[in-house]
């Protein structure tokens, strides 16, 4: 006898998911275990894909035929911290008032996850010809790498999907492009000496300043190069230095200095261009100056996070399908990064489309409106109908 699972409304499912404290520094396994138990109740097969440490996992479930690729509904399970924010109630207890559902992750992006899971009974009842896959990832808020191990298996021991819909909050607009987000730390290693005799050492801070000045020049050039599509805000690749730390005293040549920097690149930017240009400047100018009085220092830059951009793919199956389901006639761009670029890099047509506004994400008393929750549910019901008839 098939098992009959627990039926939960999207709002009830959202309350369940919000109740798990899945801040990115913590494990998401209790949430994953809950979802697995729920899916077992509906006889929905799934694959758990743990991280190397074993303290987090992605989950990939398939409703419908198991022998072919379908449509992926992709969402992350991790959320940003609540410390230091002025919440008016427990962030991990969903609170509904004035047409809004409040809680950490309510809009970014457990609402999308909740919709996909709550509609499992309807997906099953639709007798799908094209399967609907539910992908729940981790670490999206920190590295965007929690989806990668599962994507690598698609086309190998998992069917290659026909399309992916990443459910970040877009107010149900269909997004076909966003910038990349690539972050680095650069450390200059100098040699300490008294500032009255600079030839006895090498200042890491002053060399770091030269490198930052070069990043400023690159940033200006990127601004001048601009965005030929005219679709992005701001309309150019941005380069930014966020933190800098180094030195021990005003009268000591600094031994080390580290700064953290990033670029957010237009989809057509070669991701190696900016780091290669900084490295060339470091080798040809900054390092020579650092070591002009002797072999005192070195410069190292480490890649921290690389979130690929999402490039427009006009007329793709994902775009055509999502526009029809959302009732839209054109695509949009967003200023934030998502996991969508990883799907696209694997050859899977991908768009971003989900309920709620990104303006409410990461805020105290984060919320999604009940109207947007219902709009997301309607989108997924139309998807089920499309997959049943295909």
Taking domain 10-178+310-389, whether its CATH number is 3.40.630.10 is answered by yes
Residues 21-79: tens digit of each pLDDT:
999 999 999 999 999 999 999 999 999 999 999 999 999 999 999 999 999 999 999 99
Class for the domain spanning 181-307: alpha beta
pLDDT at 255: 97
Average pLDDT over every residue of 111-132: 97
Q: How many CB atoms lie within 10 A of CB 38?
A: 19
- The contacts of residue 209 (CB under 8 Å, 6+ apart) are none
Position 2 scores a pLDDT of: 39
The SS3 assignment for 263 reads strand
pLDDT digits (tens, 9 = 90+) for 311-358: 999 999 999 999 999 999 999 999 999 999 999 999 999 999 999 999
Contact 107, 356 (CB under 8 A): yes
Q: What is the mean pLDDT of residues 195-200?
A: 97
Per CATH, 10-178+310-389 and 181-307 having the same topology is answered: no
For 212-256, write each residue's pLDDT tens digit.
Answer: 999 999 999 999 999 999 999 999 999 999 999 999 999 999 999
Residue 390 pLDDT grade (very low, low, confident, very high; cuts 50, 70, 90):
low
Task: Reduce the DSSP state of residue 168 to 3 states and report it.
Answer: coil
**Average pLDDT over the chain, rounded to whole?**
97
176 pLDDT more than 70: yes
Domain spans of the chain, in order of start: 10-178+310-389, 181-307
Say whether pLDDT at 3 is over 90: no
| CA distance from start to end of the chain | 29
Q: Which long-range contacts does 278-281 make (Cβ < 8 Å, 24+ apart)?
A: 278/186, 278/211, 278/214, 278/215, 278/218, 281/211, 281/214
Question: Hey, what are 312's tokens?
Answer: 């427009």
What pLDDT digit, counting tens, does each position of 259-309 carry? 999 999 999 999 999 999 999 999 999 999 999 999 999 999 999 999 999
CA distance 232 to 274: 19
């Amino acid at each position: 006898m098939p098992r009959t699972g627990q039926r939960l409304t999207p709002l009830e499912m959202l309350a369940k998911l919000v109740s798990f404290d899945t801040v990115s520094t913590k494990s998401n396994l209790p949430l994953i275990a809950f979802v697995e138990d729920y899916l077992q109740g509906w006889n929905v097969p799934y694959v758990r894909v743990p991280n190397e440490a074993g303290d987090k996992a992605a989950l990939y479930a398939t409703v419908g035929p198991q022998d072919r690729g379908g449509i992926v509904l992709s969402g992350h399970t991790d959320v940003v911290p609540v410390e230091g924010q002025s919440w008016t109630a427990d962030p991990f207890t969903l609170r509904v008032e004035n047409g809004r559902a409040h809680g950490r992750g309510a809009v970014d992006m457990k609402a999308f996850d909740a919709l996909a899971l709550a509609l499992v009974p309807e997906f099953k009842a639709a007798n799908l010809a094209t399967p609907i896959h539910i992908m729940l990832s981790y670490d999206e808020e920190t590295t965007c790498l929690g989806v990668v191990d599962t994507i690598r298996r698609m086309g190998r021991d998992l069917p290659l999907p026909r399309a992916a819909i990443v459910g970040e909050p877009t107010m149900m607009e269909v997004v076909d492009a966003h910038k990349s987000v690539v972050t680095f730390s650069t450390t200059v290693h100098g040699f300490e000496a008294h500032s009255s005799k600079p030839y006895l050492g090498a200042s890491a801070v002053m060399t770091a300043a030269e490198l930052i000045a070069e990043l400023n020049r690159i940033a200006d050039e990127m601004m001048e190069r601009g965005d030929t599509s005219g679709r992005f805000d701001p309309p150019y690749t941005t380069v930014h230095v966020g933190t800098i730390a180094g030195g021990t005293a005003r009268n000591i040549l600094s031994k080390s200095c580290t700064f953290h920097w990033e670029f957010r690149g237009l989809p057509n930017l070669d991701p190696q261009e900016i780091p290669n240009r900084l490295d060339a400047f470091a080798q040809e100018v900054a390092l020579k100056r650092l070591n002009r009085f002797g072999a005192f220092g070195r410069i190292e830059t480490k890649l921290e996070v690389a979130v690929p951009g999402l490039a427009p793919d006009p007329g793709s199956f994902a775009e055509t399908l999502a526009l029809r389901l959302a009732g839209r006639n054109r695509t949009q761009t967003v200023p934030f990064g998502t996991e969508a670029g990883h799907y696209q890099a694997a050859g899977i047509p991908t768009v971003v489309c989900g309920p709620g506004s990104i303006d409410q994400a990461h805020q105290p008393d984060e919320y999604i409106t009940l109207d947007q929750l219902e709009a997301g549910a309607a989108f997924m019901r139309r998807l089920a109908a499309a997959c049943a008839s295909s």
